[in-house]
Structure 1
Amino acid sequence: MLVEEETNKYENMATQQEDEEKALVIWSIINCPIPDGLDPCLVVPRIQTALEKSRRGRPYGPLSITAISNNLTEIPGEDVMRKLSSAGISLKHAHRVSTDMYQWARRNPPPATIMVISGHVELECLASTFSGLKNKGYRILLTYPQRDPVLASLPKHCFWETLLSDTDNNLETTTRLVFPYRLDHGTGELPWSCSVCHYDAPTFEDFTKHLKCETHAYFEWDMYASKNNVDRTNPANLQLGRSPEWDLLAKESMLYRSAIRKQRGAFAPPKRSKMWVDATTFK
Structure 2
Amino acid sequence: MSGNDAAETSKIEVWWDMKDCPIPEGYDARRVRPSMERAFEKIGYTGPVSITAYGNQTQTPDHHLLALSSTGVAVVHTIVESTRSVMYRDMVEWRGQNPPPATMMIISDQVEGDFSWDLARLQQRTRYDLFQANSMKSRDDLLLVYYANWRWEQLLGEEGTPPLVTCGLSSAAVFYCKSCNFDCKSLKKFRKHLSSYKHGMEEAINPPDKQLLCVTKAWARNYPATPENATAKIHVLWDMNDCPIPEGYDARRVRPSIERALKELSYTGPVSITAFADQKQTPVHHLLALSSTGVDFSHTLPWVHYSRMITDFEIWTKDNPAPASIMIISDEVASSKDRSTLICRKLQESNYNCFLAYSVRPFEMPVLVTSAEWLWDNLLAVKVKGLLQLLPECFVAHCVYVIAKAWMISISISQVKIIHRKYA
Report the TM-score, using the length of structure 2 for normalisation: 0.41
- Rounded to whole Å, the distance in 2 between the matches of 1:151 and 1:200 is 38
2:175 matched to which residue of 1?
192
Where structure 2 has 5 or more consecutive residues not aligned to the other structure, the ranges are 163-171, 211-424
Residue pair 2:17, 2:108 contacting (<8 A) in 1 also = yes
Whether 1:21 and 2:13 are equivalent positions in the alignment is no
Q: Secondary structure at the match of 2:206?
A: helix
Report deviation, 1:137.
1.6
CA separation of 1:224 and 1:87: change in aligned 2, threshold 3 A: closer
Whether 1:206 and 2:206 are equivalent positions in the alignment is no
Amino acid at match of 1:160: W
Residue pair 2:175, 2:185 contacting (<8 A) in 1 also = yes
- Rounded to whole Å, the distance in 2 between the matches of 1:216 and 1:91 is 17
Whether 1:90 and 2:77 are equivalent positions in the alignment is no
- Rounded to whole Å, the distance in 2 between the matches of 1:209 and 1:129 is 37
CA separation of 1:19 and 1:226: change in aligned 2, threshold 3 A: closer
Report the TM-score, using the length of structure 1 for normalisation: 0.59
CA separation of 1:149 and 1:138: change in aligned 2, threshold 3 A: closer
1:115 matched to which residue of 2?
105
Q: Per-residue CA shift, 1:29-79, capped at 9, x if unaligned?
A: 1111011121111111111122223xx33411x32100001x1121x3222
Whether 1:63 and 2:49 are equivalent positions in the alignment is yes
Amino acid at match of 1:83: A
1:252 matched to which residue of 2?
none
2:135 matched to which residue of 1?
145
Over the aligned positions, Cα root-mean-square deviation in angstroms equals: 2.8
Q: Secondary structure at the match of 1:33?
A: coil
Amino acid at match of 1:59: T
Report deviation, 1:130.
2.5
- Rounded to whole Å, the distance in 1 between the matches of 2:204 and 2:150 is 36
Residue pair 1:25, 1:66 contacting (<8 A) in 2 also = yes
CA separation of 1:20 and 1:225: change in aligned 2, threshold 3 A: closer
Q: Secondary structure at the match of 1:102?
A: helix
CA separation of 1:72 and 1:110: change in aligned 2, threshold 3 A: same
CA separation of 1:150 and 1:214: change in aligned 2, threshold 3 A: same
- Rounded to whole Å, the distance in 2 between the matches of 1:151 and 1:213 is 45
CA separation of 1:225 and 1:30: change in aligned 2, threshold 3 A: closer
Amino acid at match of 2:174: P
- Rounded to whole Å, the distance in 2 between the matches of 1:225 and 1:52 is 35
Residue pair 1:110, 1:138 contacting (<8 A) in 2 also = yes
Residue pair 1:52, 1:59 contacting (<8 A) in 2 also = yes
Amino acid at match of 1:57: G
Larger gyration radius, structure 1 or structure 2: 2
Whether 1:125 and 2:99 are equivalent positions in the alignment is no
Report deviation, 1:123.
4.2
CA separation of 1:225 and 1:46: change in aligned 2, threshold 3 A: closer
2:158 matched to which residue of 1?
166
Whether 1:100 and 2:109 are equivalent positions in the alignment is no
- Rounded to whole Å, the distance in 1 between the matches of 2:132 and 2:8 is 21
Report deviation, 1:149.
6.5
CA separation of 1:31 and 1:77: change in aligned 2, threshold 3 A: same
Q: Secondary structure at the match of 1:197?
A: coil
Aligned match of 1:218 in 201, 213, 218? 201
CA separation of 1:22 and 1:225: change in aligned 2, threshold 3 A: closer
- Rounded to whole Å, the distance in 2 between the matches of 1:18 and 1:125 is 26
Report deviation, 1:190.
6.2
Report deviation, 1:151.
5.1
CA separation of 1:25 and 1:123: change in aligned 2, threshold 3 A: farther
Amino acid at match of 1:49: R
Amino acid at match of 2:106: V
Q: For 1:235-254, list aligned pairs within 5 A.
A: none
Residue pair 2:7, 2:100 contacting (<8 A) in 1 also = no
- Rounded to whole Å, the distance in 2 between the matches of 1:18 and 1:98 is 21
Amino acid at match of 1:73: T
Residue pair 1:40, 1:84 contacting (<8 A) in 2 also = yes
Sequence identity, in percent? Answer: 30
Amino acid at match of 2:68: L
